[in-house]
């Protein structure tokens, strides 16, 4: 059983930190893009033998930058081509707090969408302006209430820390506001300054003032503490949920399972092959018209690469990597493949290696990248 990610690369504005494939929606061929997206889904599902889907996730960009009519068109394509059935356990859409009208919410709800992910980032209006967001705290509160009224009982709030000018008090206040809303899920990520972003250009000019590394670590500790006190369980390095509300789609990635990637710039992993679609909208449309598929890159994943990915993706989960599941997939015991790495990481206090699984310690969560990199190239 597979999952499907669908990329909508359009935005009403471009955030200073975002390095995802995105374009200003004004003057873009949106309707033509949606038609090409439909063709890609048809061709890909046919080539894969029309597998049943376990999860569907529409991300971006900003999916809710589409008009209500365009959203309806997209969702109708999904219904006809992907044929979500009883096997579907999650149908999620990313939403922007400032463009989520009651009409759009009703369109999403009528199409079977059962999970919304709100890009909040912070509840501090001054910080929102600094990072290039145009919504304000009040927009989040209004949209959240509107979504509840529309019948959405599974809402995730995305927050960030380590932002320019952000203090521990700022983060604490945002977390308190977020938790008071009573969402089912929270994603809380540290800022990573990526190339080709506004923040990257500012950093190169020495004009980006970020919290020091020790303060960022303190912020992460605060996130874990507040979530724990609120009874929201951490199930992945940056993700927290009420019981039963973990992101089933994202667990597909962290469990190293396969998924379709539809749309401009989307990544897919089907039948052991990782693909990357062309990013520019016009290039994507032209490739679909020319050959039916928009791939700009494809890579057959070797067995050793699969095993390494199993480790550095699976260790993101609080539960870690199951040794039984690992043996089922690869036919070899995990301990036999990485004896020295596992011993070294355990000696450093970064992992726990039990009879059943390998998982990060609290200290390991703070130094996750060091743990993940330890497995790369070992085979």
Query: Domain segments of the chain: what residues?
Result: 2-254, 304-374
Q: Supply the pLDDT for residue 18.
A: 82
Residues 205-218 have a mean pLDDT of 92
pLDDT in tens, 93-118: 999 998 899 999 999 999 999 999 99
Q: What is the CA radius of gyration of the chain?
A: 21
Q: Supply the pLDDT for residue 22.
A: 78
Q: Supply the pLDDT for residue 45.
A: 97
The first and second tokens of residue 199, run together, are: 């923040």
Q: Supply the pLDDT for residue 20.
A: 82
Residues 19-28 have a mean pLDDT of 83
Written out in words, the top-level CATH class of the domain with range 304-374 is mainly alpha
Query: Which contiguous run of DSSP H or E holds residue 123?
Result: none
Residues 125-152 have a mean pLDDT of 95
- Model confidence at 24, in pLDDT bands (50, 70, 90)? confident
Indicate whether 19 pLDDT > 80.
Answer: no
- Beta-sheet strand order (sheet of 53-60): 233-236, 239-241, 185-190, 155-161, 115-121, 90-95, 53-60, 2-8, 259-262, 267-270, 273-277, 295-300
Q: Supply the pLDDT for residue 335.
A: 96
The first and second tokens of residue 90, run together, are: 């999650």
CATH number 3.90.1150.10 is the correct assignment for the domain at 2-254: no
- Model confidence at 146, in pLDDT bands (50, 70, 90)? very high
pLDDT in tens, 304-324: 999 999 999 999 999 999 999
The alpha-helical segments, DSSP class H, found in the chain are: 30-47, 68-81, 102-110, 125-130, 137-149, 168-181, 198-204, 213-229, 248-254, 281-291, 303-314, 323-330, 334-337, 339-347, 362-366, 368-374
Indicate whether 235 pLDDT > 80.
Answer: yes
- Model confidence at 46, in pLDDT bands (50, 70, 90)? very high
Give the pTM. Answer: 0.95
Indicate whether 119 pLDDT > 90.
Answer: yes
- Share above pLDDT 70 across residues of the chain, in percent, rounded to a whole number: 100
Q: Annotate 205-245 with DSSP letters as a single string.
A: TT---PPPHHHHHHHHHHHHHHHHHTT-EEEETTEEESTT-
Residues 131-135 have a mean pLDDT of 91
Residues 296-302 have a mean pLDDT of 97
Residues 70-88 have a mean pLDDT of 96
Give the least confident one: 75-84, 189-198, 218-227, 341-350: 189-198
With the CA atoms of 86, 249, 11 and 25 taken in that order, what torsion angle do they form, in degrees rounded to the nearest 10? -50
- In three-state secondary structure terms, 121 is strand
pLDDT in tens, 162-185: 999 999 999 999 999 999 999 999
Q: Give me the residue label for tokens 């500012």.
A: 202
Q: How do strand 53-60 and strand 23-24 relate by DSSP bridges?
A: unpaired
Q: Supply the pLDDT for residue 302.
A: 96
C-alpha torsion sign, points 264, 265, 270, 274: positive
Residues 196-215 have a mean pLDDT of 90
- Share above pLDDT 90 across residues of the chain, in percent, rounded to a whole number: 88
Which residue did the predictor score with more confidence, 19 or 109? 109
pLDDT averaged over every residue in the chain: 95
Q: Cβ neighbours of residue 5 under 8 Å, at least 6 residues apart?
A: 57, 59, 249, 259, 260, 261, 262, 263, 266, 267, 268
């Amino acid at each position: 059983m597979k999952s499907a990610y669908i990329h909508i690369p359009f935005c009403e504005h471009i955030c200073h930190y975002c390095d995802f494939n995105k374009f200003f929606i004004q003057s873009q061929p949106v309707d033509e893009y949606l038609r090409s997206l439909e063709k890609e889904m048809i061709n890909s599902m046919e080539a894969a033998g029309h597998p049943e889907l376990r999860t569907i996730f529409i991300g971006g960009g900003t999916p809710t930058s589409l008009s209500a009519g365009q959203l309806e068109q997209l969702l109708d394509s999904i219904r006809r081509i992907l044929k979500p059935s009883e096997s579907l356990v999650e149908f999620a859409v990313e939403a922007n707090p400032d463009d989520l009208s009651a009409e759009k919410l009703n369109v999403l709800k009528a199409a079977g969408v059962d999970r919304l992910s709100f890009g909040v980032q912070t509840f501090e209006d001054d910080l929102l302006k600094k990072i290039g967001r145009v919504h304000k705290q009040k927009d989040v509160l209004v949209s959240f209430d509107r979504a509840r009224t529309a019948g959405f009982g599974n809402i995730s709030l995305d927050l960030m820390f380590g932002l320019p000018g952000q203090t521990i008090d700022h983060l604490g206040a945002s977390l308190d506001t977020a938790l008071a809303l009573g969402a089912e899920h929270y994603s809380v990520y540290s800022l990573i300054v990526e190339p080709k972003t506004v923040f990257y250009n500012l950093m190169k000019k020495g004009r980006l003032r970020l919290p020091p590394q020790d303060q960022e670590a303190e912020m992460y500790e605060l996130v874990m503490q507040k979530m724990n006190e609120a009874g929201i369980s951490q199930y992945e390095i940056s993700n927290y949920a009420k019981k039963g509300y973990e992101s089933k789609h994202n667990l597909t990635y962290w469990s190293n399972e396969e998924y379709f990637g539809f749309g401009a710039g989307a990544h897919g992993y089907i039948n052991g092959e990782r693909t990357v679609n062309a990013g520019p909208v016009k290039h994507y449309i032209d490739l679909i018209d020319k050959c039916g598929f928009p791939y700009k890159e494809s890579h057959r994943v070797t067995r050793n690469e699969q095993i390494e990915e199993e480790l550095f993706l699976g260790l993101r989960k609080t539960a870690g990597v199951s040794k039984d599941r690992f043996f089922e997939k690869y036919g070899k015991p995990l301990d036999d493949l990485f004896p020295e790495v596992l011993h070294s990481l355990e000696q450093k206090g970064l992992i726990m290696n039990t009879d059943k699984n390998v998982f990060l310690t609290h200290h390991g969560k703070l130094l996750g990248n060091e743990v993940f990199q330890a497995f790369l190239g070992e085979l």
